[in-house]
Amino acid sequence: MSVLAALALLAWGWLALFRGRFWRLAPAPLPRPASGDVTAIIPARDEEATIGRTVRSLARQGVPVLVVDDQSRDATAAAARGAGAEVIAGAPLPEGWTGKLWALEQGVRRVASDWILLTDADIEHHPTSVGELLALARERDLDLASLMVRLHCESAAERLMIPAFVFFFALLYPFRWVADPNRATAAAAGGCILVRRAALERIGYFAPISDRLIDDCALAAAVKKSGGRIWLGLSRDTVSLRPYPRLSDIWRMVARTAYTQLRYSPLLLAGTVIGLGALFLVPPLATFSGGAAMLFGVAAWLLMGVLYRPILRLYGLSPLWAALLPLTALVYLGATIDSARRHWEGRGGEWKGRVRRS
């Protein structure tokens, strides 16, 4: 246990120093808003409850909104029209496409703007967010600029799990590395992506990634691989309206795509179990083991908590939540294993009545 705890401490030290400063999670400073030719496209399926607020938050900025109604079973289309959006009915889902990407493919073919904002139906945009993102893209000559919006974080389950979701995402895709054209790391947050039409044309729109469940990162990777410059930041003021009141809600959200992230590989799953266990579970176990193991365990647990504090600060949470990060990691690990189980049972990627077959 002493050896394992020492290795965990070394691992956290290495991550702190050499993983792109992933832990420096703070809202990105954006330039003054600019005006330009931007159209927002919203793929929507059964989003009656939130889509009105999303459309109005864009309409207040003077951004035209096209909603592609992906065969909703509720009043999504009526709510979107009532808020001022143009709505088109999505065609039946063809084989080899996910619903969201098929909706976006149909939408992008209907608009002619130089810039396209891809956003979800449950995002309330800050009154100047689109202009700020456009100004940043022009200033840095970007082909794709994305904001990870502030996720809903009010219930106890959300406070335990949501900041850690952002923390783990940044650990996988350090934002500095995403913006570095000399690194292959590419990521985006699907709730708010501003992309240049020319960049979409260059990669063949969405057809090359038509079957990807983690579509935002796949899009960013395609744009970056084609020679485009990309950027990803955090927002405090553009927010997600989708609540996750129970732990089971978050579990299902993670289980939908976690095994996809591991490329459906049992070896990568085993490596993830070992890696997460070594990083997050060994420190608290060593802390209560006594002797040298306790010293290394306490040090690793404290360092883990220090790196976690910036995201807790962003979400207005007490730093004491950092002590529960090992528990949070254990839940995410369980959901990842469950994601593999669902895939093996033929239920991978299940979402709103659809199951992705792979």
The whole-number mean pLDDT for each consecutive block of 10 residues of the chain, a chain of 358 residues, reads: 96 97 92 95 96 98 96 95 97 93 96 97 97 97 97 96 97 97 96 97 97 94 98 96 95 91 93 94 94 95 97 96 97 95 80 56
Of 284, 189, 177, give the one whose Cα is nearest residue 238: 189
pLDDT at 326: 97
Of 2, 340, 349, 17, give the one whose Cα is nearest residue 174: 17
Of 63, 68, 76, give the one whose Cα is nearest residue 105: 68
Report the alpha-carbon distance of residue 275 to residue 174 in Å, rounded: 18
pLDDT at 358: 45
pLDDT at 261: 87
Helix ranges (DSSP H) in the chain:
2-18, 51-59, 76-82, 99-108, 129-140, 156-172, 175-179, 197-203, 215-225, 247-261, 266-276, 282-287, 291-314, 325-344
pLDDT at 347: 76
What's the angle, vertex CA 117, arms to CA 79 and CA 144, rounded to 5? 160
> How many beta carbons lie within 10 A of that of residue 7, not counting itself?
15
CA distances 270 to 164, 195, 267, 274, Å, are 21, 36, 5, 6
Report the alpha-carbon distance of residue 330 to residue 337 in Å, rounded: 11
Report the alpha-carbon distance of residue 216 to residue 230 in Å, rounded: 12
DSSP per-residue codes, 239-288:
EE-----SHHHHHHHHHHHHHHHTTT-HHHHHHHHHHHIIIIIHHHHHHT
Residue whose entry in the numeric block shows the structure tokens 């496409």: 97
pLDDT at 357: 47
Start-to-end C-alpha separation, the chain:
40
pLDDT at 353: 60
pLDDT at 246: 95
Q: Which CATH architecture has domain 38-240?
A: Alpha-Beta Complex (3.90)
pLDDT at 28: 84
Sketch the domain layout of the chain as residue ranges.
Answer: 2-22+247-344, 38-240
pLDDT at 219: 98
